[in-house]
């Protein structure tokens, strides 16, 4: 007010709201669209949205809201000061299903669940009597593979199918049974009630291909009619 001025004076103060930063430590996640980077004392109430992270479930924020992870954290209108928030996560548990097609796995079986943090693991291969294991098909595997590894960092539920090839050296046994004959009082021979005796000397131990018809030969016995081949 210059020297010599006269009269009453009235002055109105003008204010600019201070902008305060909101800092986020997302721990590998991606912030939600709409979570602001700044606010002022005049900002309407802010409710923080959940961030996202592949393979994880968001469990809450800690920081300016306290040390217990919370979802839906609010910054009330009239608040001041820099805000800091750290995201917390829990790995999602994914299921693994197996169709062994009548095969079995000895000992401890394959994993039934895993997470994005699970270390690399290789599927144990099953066995099936009379067959060779041809491999697994499943996520990203259209041609059967005998070695399948789920790498750390993988995600999603999984389903694997076992495939088999018949063995050509499957053992089988051919037995020959001869009808039991007894002598009657008249000196005649007759069938003893339709019973049969195993001819152990004629038993054949052969090999062939699983699920195919065997090739045992019909044995001829003197005085008997053999079945057709």
pLDDT tens for each residue of 133-181: 999 999 999 999 999 999 999 999 999 999 999 999 888 888 988 888 7
The answer, yes or no, to whether residue 25 has pLDDT greater than 80, is: yes
The answer, yes or no, to whether residue 192 has pLDDT greater than 70, is: no
Find the range with the poorest average confidence among 118-127, 150-159, 184-193: 184-193
Q: What is the mean pLDDT of residues 13-42?
A: 98
Structure tokens at 121: 């693991």
Q: How many residues in the chain?
A: 229
Find the range with the poorest average confidence among 50-64, 95-109, 171-185: 171-185
List all residues 6 or more positions away from 99 whose beta carbon is below 8 Å from its beta carbon.
159, 160, 161, 162
pLDDT at 204: 87
pLDDT at 191: 60
pLDDT at 217: 79
Mean pLDDT of the chain: 92
List all residues 6 or more positions away from 134 whose beta carbon is below 8 Å from its beta carbon.
144, 146, 163, 164, 165
List all residues 6 or more positions away from 60 whose beta carbon is below 8 Å from its beta carbon.
68, 69, 70, 71, 73, 88
What is the DSSP pairing of strand 46-47 with strand 74-75?
antiparallel
Structure tokens at 68: 């217990």
How many CB atoms neighbour CB 182 within 10 A? Answer: 11
The answer, yes or no, to whether residue 188 has pLDDT greater than 70, is: no
pLDDT at 114: 98
pLDDT at 77: 98
What is the DSSP pairing of strand 20-25 with strand 83-91?
parallel
The answer, yes or no, to whether residue 226 has pLDDT greater than 90, is: no
Q: Report d(CA 205, CA 209) in Å as an integer.
A: 14
Q: Which of 91, 26, 35, 28 is nearest to 63 (CA)?
A: 26
pLDDT at 177: 86
pLDDT band at 213 (very low <50, low <70, confident <90, very high): confident
Let me know: does 115 contact 91? Beta carbons within 8 Å: yes
Q: Residue 97: what are its φ and ψ, rounded to 5°?
A: -115, 150
Q: What is the mean pLDDT of residues 50-60?
A: 98
pLDDT at 10: 95
List all residues 6 or more positions away from 31 whose beta carbon is below 8 Å from its beta carbon.
24, 51
pLDDT at 202: 86
- Specify whether the backbone of 130 is left (phi greater than 0), alpha (psi in -120 to 50) or beta: left
Interior CA angle at 25 toward 23 and 29, to 5°?
125
The answer, yes or no, to whether residue 182 has pLDDT greater than 80, is: no
Q: What is the mean pLDDT of residues 44-66?
A: 98
Which tops the pLDDT comparison, 120 or 169?
120
pLDDT at 181: 76
pLDDT at 189: 54
């Amino acid at each position: 007010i210059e020297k010599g001025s006269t009269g009453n004076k009235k002055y109105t103060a003008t204010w600019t709201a201070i902008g305060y930063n909101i800092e986020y430590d997302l721990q590998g996640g991606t912030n939600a669209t709409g979570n602001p980077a700044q606010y002022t004392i005049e900002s309407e109430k802010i409710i923080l949205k959940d961030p996202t992270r592949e393979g994880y479930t968001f469990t809450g924020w800690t920081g300016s809201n306290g040390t217990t992870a919370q979802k839906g954290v609010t910054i009330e209108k009239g608040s001041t000061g820099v805000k800091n928030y750290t995201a917390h996560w829990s790995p999602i548990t994914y299921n693994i299903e197996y169709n062994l097609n009548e095969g079995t796995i000895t000992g401890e079986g394959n994993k039934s669940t895993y997470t994005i943090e699970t270390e690399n693991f290789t599927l144990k291969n099953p066995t099936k009597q009379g067959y060779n294991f041809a491999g697994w098909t499943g996520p990203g595997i259209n041609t059967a593979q005998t070695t399948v590894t789920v790498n750390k960092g993988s995600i999603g539920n999984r389903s694997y199918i076992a495939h088999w090839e018949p063995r050509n050296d499957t053992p089988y046994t051919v037995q020959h049974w001869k009808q039991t004959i007894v002598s009657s009082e008249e000196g005649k021979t007759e069938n003893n009630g339709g019973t049969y005796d195993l001819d152990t000397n004629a038993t054949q131990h052969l090999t062939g291909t699983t699920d195919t018809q065997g090739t045992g030969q019909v044995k001829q016995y003197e005085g008997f009619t053999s079945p057709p081949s």
